[in-house]
Amino acid sequence: MTARTPADDAPDGVVHVDGVAGRPQGRESGREIPEATVARLPIYLRALTSLADQGTDTCSSEDLAAAAGVNSAKLRKDLSYLGSYGTRGVGYDVAYLRYQIAREIGLTQDWPVIIVGIGNLGHALANFSGFRSRGFSVVALLDADPQRHDELVAGLPVRPFDDLERIVAGQGVSIGVIATPAVAAQDVADKLVACGITSILNFAPTVINVPDGVDVRKVDLSIELQILAYHEQRKAIPATAADGGLDEEVTA
Amino acid sequence: MTARTPADDAPDGVVHVDGVAGRPQGRESGREIPEATVARLPIYLRALTSLADQGTDTCSSEDLAAAAGVNSAKLRKDLSYLGSYGTRGVGYDVAYLRYQIAREIGLTQDWPVIIVGIGNLGHALANFSGFRSRGFSVVALLDADPQRHDELVAGLPVRPFDDLERIVAGQGVSIGVIATPAVAAQDVADKLVACGITSILNFAPTVINVPDGVDVRKVDLSIELQILAYHEQRKAIPATAADGGLDEEVTA
DNA sequence: GTCAGTTTGTTCTGTCGTTCACAAACCTCC
DNA sequence: GGAGGTTTGTGAACGACAGAACAAACTGAC
């Protein structure tokens, strides 16, 4: 028998892992996880949580791949970058694998997050329950507009942007969310970086420049729509108009 | 002289393009635009708009690449899929290129969009000005909750989800936005598809399955944060802890 | 203990995407 | 009209990723 059985797993994500000899124990330090794989780990994590909620103890790569909406070969390869957490002939233990992925992503600790720009989107983000449930806690809301100060949003007071440095230093924040208008985004990003923030999630529809060592991820609503529009346009054309003749006499 | 000069372009995005012989006129029908390129076209479009607002008539690939935050070689290759819209030794005419990209994406027409699920996020989306300014118009807001019906959000009444078919058929809607809780998303997606929607932008944190011919793009806030957390965790480890020894005695 | 059936982990191969480097094309100046 | 400088468009090398296919490893039956 190995170090784990479905029966002795803690009920809710808290899995005790002891380094018993004979069980492959995670990834060797040399391997780097490809970026494409990193981007899918949260999807697997969610799929595993869903399976666990349904009472599933064990699943095959085929099952999990279906739940995550990917190819099973891809799933197995992705998981292999983390280590050998499955059992051939059996599959994966849901709770165990879930914990391993969570640990790999870094969700075994709590990440304090601040949100800058409490407009429509900032409100929605502050109220978004998916943050806290996944190990992120919004510790402060900042806005440059004095009219918004001290207003309570999702139980937190909106604070002036000048409090940034104190908050970041005091709470050990390393992740910031920008939900300001586009014109303010670069300035906010600069100040976040200056205070020690090293990861930024940018909702403002503009490119922001940051120094090396700072990660930026962009979420852009209208870009996603435009990509859809491109494909939609292609569908609508009945294959005749697309074959030449369209480029002439084009006017706005 | 070619068919265009910076001077005789219409002032604001409306560019008259006539098929004068001697000027390369767009892409041949055979070529397919790579998906990665399609995803960047909206970024170039935004950068061009920004340059135009600053009064710039002409820009080099280097300029535009800097504004869009990409490599200039990549930019040139991307644009080459659309056609030869630049002039060697000179660069690109901002207004002309902007129009060509907009046409390629399909933004010369207006795309009606419906939003399903008018919670916190739905509110923010309905009020998001970036939609209308880029050729998308929100024509209806739907919600299953009767308590929300007829409430005015961004000037539009929230309507019952059962009105879906009538609205889609009546307004010729082909793009739908899902901003419901995760549990409702698949059901909403099925109904959207049944009514003839062929492009879906999904904000619900779950995988949705659709038949072939329907495009889905996913925007997932917590996944983005988790990806940031992964890299953040890697930064924090001072390269010693990462080299083994961490896998034992890990508890939540 | 052996055999059949199942499922993982990994290797291999083709495709897609990025980057470099350079010829072709253009402008300006003389 | 020609020379020199500039910039695009693209061929080619390179790297990352996806998917198929298979050997290795496990379970359970007998």
**Residue A70 CA, nucleotide D28 C1', distance (Å):** 30
Is the CB of A88 inside 8 Å of chain B's CB atoms? no
Query: With 90 as the cut, is the pLDDT of residue B71 above it?
Result: yes
Q: Within 10 A of B154 (CB to CB), how many other CB atoms are there?
A: 19
Nearest nucleotide over every DNA/RNA strand to the B63 CA, judged by C1': D7
Q: What is the pLDDT of residue A236?
A: 75
- Between CA A54 and CA A38 the distance in angstroms is 25
Looking at residue B26, its pLDDT comes to: 52
Give the number of A-B residue pairs with CB atoms closer than 8 Å: 229
DSSP line for A90-146: TEEEHHHHHHHHHHHHTTTS-EEEEEE--SHHHHHHHH-HHHHTTTEEEEEEEES-G
| CA B155/CA B152 separation, integer angstroms | 6
> Sign of dihedral through CA atoms B77, B79, B81, B85?
negative
* Smallest Cα distance from A177 to chain B, Å: 9
- For residues B234-249, give the mean pLDDT: 51
Of the ranges A59-68, A205-214, B37-46, B233-242, which one carries the lowest mean pLDDT score? B233-242
Q: Given an 8 Å threshold on Cβ–Cβ distance, is A244 in contact with B29?
A: yes
Instruction: Give per-residue pLDDT as tens, B78-121.
Output: 999 999 999 999 999 999 999 999 999 999 999 999 999 999 99
Confidence band (pLDDT; 50, 70, 90) for B31? low
* Residues of chain B numbered 138-167 and touching chain A (CB < 8 Å): none
For the cut 60, the answer to whether the pLDDT of residue A3 exceeds it is no
Q: Give the per-residue pLDDT at A167.
A: 98
Number of residues that this document lists for chain B: 252
Q: Please indicate if any CB of chain B lies within 8 Å of the CB of A214.
A: no
Smallest CA–CA distance from B132 into chain A, residue: A222
CB contact under 8 A, B250 and A108: yes
List the structure tokens of A49: 């949580």
Considering only CB atoms, A228 lies closest to which of B215, B242, B249, namely: B215
Kindly compute the dihedral angle of the four CA atoms of residues B80, B83, B88, B90, in this order, to the nearest 10 degrees.
-100
Phi, psi of A91 (to 5 degrees): 130, -150
Q: Does the CB of A84 have a partner CB in chain B at under 8 Å?
A: no
**What are the DSSP calls for B67-116, one per residue?**
HHTS-HHHHHHHHHHH---EETTTEEEHHHHHHHHHHHHTTTS-EEEEEE
CA–CA dist B140, B147 (Å, integer): 17
Q: Could you count the other beta carbons within 10 Å of the beta carbon of residue B108? A: 16
Residue A91 (CA) to nucleotide D21 (C1'), in angstroms, measures 19
Distance in Å, residue A91 CA to nucleotide D22 C1': 18
DSSP symbols for A11-27: SSS---B---TTS--S-
Domain A1-105 listed as CATH 1.10.10.10: yes
Q: For chain B, give the percent of residues with pLDDT over 70.
A: 81
Strand D nucleotides within 7 Å of a protein CB: 5-11, 16-21, 24-27
Query: For residue B130, what pLDDT is reported?
Result: 86
Would the CATH topology of A1-105 be identical to that of A111-224? no
The nearest CA of chain B is from the CA of A90 a distance in Å of 23
Chain A hits for B228, CB-CB cut-off 8 Å, are 175, 199-201, 215, 217
Can you name the CATH fold of B1-108?
A: Arc Repressor Mutant, subunit A (1.10.10)
Q: Which CATH superfamily is domain A111-224 in?
A: NAD(P)-binding Rossmann-like Domain (3.40.50.720)
8 Å CB contact of B223 and A198: no
A96's CB contacts (< 8 A; 6+ apart) are A4, A9, A15, A17, A85
Amino acid at B195: C
- What are the sequence ranges of the domains in chain A? 1-105, 111-224
pTM to 2 decimals?
Answer: 0.86
Average pLDDT, chain B: 86
**The predicted structure's pLDDT at residue A179:** 98
Distance CA B35 to C1' C11 in A: 28
Tens of pLDDT along B128-184?
988 888 899 999 999 999 999 999 999 999 999 999 999 999 999 999 999 999 999
